[in-house]
Amino acid sequence: MNDYFSDRENGPRTRTEQVISPVVWAGLATTVQALVSRGAFGLRFPDRCPDGQVVCGCDPDALSASVVAEMPGLAWPLETTSVVEDGFLSQREPFAPDTLLILDFIEFVHASVAKPIPGKYHDFFSHHHLTFDQQSGQEEFRATVNRIFARNGVAFEMLSAGRIVRVLPPVLGEDLQRTVFRTGDRTLDNMLDECRAKFSDRNPLVRREALERLWDAWERLKSLADPSDKKRSIKLILDATASEPALRARLEEEATELTSIGNGHLIRHSEVKQVPVIDVDHVDYLFHRLFAMIQLILRKKETA
């Protein structure tokens, strides 16, 4: 099934969740466990029939060794609950590994999975000999992962090549993808392209780097009109952006506030007194706010 009644009636859920919950992880883990039981990893980790060495399933020991070696910190068999101690009592509660580790594991599974096709039935060992269709297996797995992500509002998507990318926030994502930066300053163009690439990354630390780079781009943009006098330069830029007095005043307030945010938080500098921006939603908000300002200035610059 590709969609559900609620999706058709209300539209798909907004993809804003950037942390994979225990509920989502349990669904992903169950999907992988079902693939193991079907022998879907037999192409890469074959279990061979003793009579003729034809592939008849998946070697669980080889799969386990590879997962543990390539995914440090991920337990195999996959764990979806953990023991929580409370004094003399203990109970099991839903558990999910770190989100980045889960995403790495999903890419590992995609690279390893293939749809098993039963062939001859071997009566003595009570198994089928198998061949594999890797493309079909990967397509089915990818569709399942993306459906689980979409139904739970998870802001990640698996592409056809098996790479997972971040689903950018609505509106901002569209603008980032379609905007071509032609500021007249190659360095600034490169800075903005770097911001765009990093902000699309699934790693929150890389997205924070995008925020820092965007503020650097803002400081460079403010000096384009008059490199020798930044105050005069930003005045000329804002004058060209809005001529209506009330809106012009609002934009100047916003430009001042954005500069203050960059200087007061751990974005452009690294002083002890500065407050770091850690929350991923705050990173998205600040990036969106500054990018909207920069985009407005650049659009008006192009039409001037």
Q: Where are the domains of the chain?
A: 5-166, 172-303
For residues 296 and 250, is the Cβ–Cβ distance under 8 A? no
Query: Count of CB atoms within 10 A of residue 217's CB?
Result: 25
Res. 120: pLDDT tops 70: yes
Which residues are 91's β-sheet partners? 84
DSSP 52: T
Choose the weakest-confidence range: 59-63, 65-69, 104-108, 269-273.
269-273
Res. 55: pLDDT tops 60: yes
**Model confidence pLDDT, tens digit, residues 203-240:** 988 999 999 999 999 999 999 999 999 999 999 999 99
List for the chain the helix, strand, coil content (%; round to 5): 55, 15, 35
Sequence-ordered list of residues with C-beta below 8 angstroms from that of 216, at least 6 positions apart, any chain: 191, 268
- pLDDT averaged over the chain? 88
d(C-alpha 14, C-alpha 180), whole Å:
26
d(C-alpha 44, C-alpha 181), whole Å:
44
Query: Count of CB atoms within 10 A of residue 132's CB?
Result: 20
Sequence-ordered list of residues with C-beta below 8 angstroms from that of 108, at least 6 positions apart, any chain: 67, 70, 71
Residue 141 pLDDT level (bands cut at 50, 70, 90): very high
The mean pLDDT value for 244-263 works out to 93
The mean pLDDT value for 66-75 works out to 95
pLDDT at 270: 60
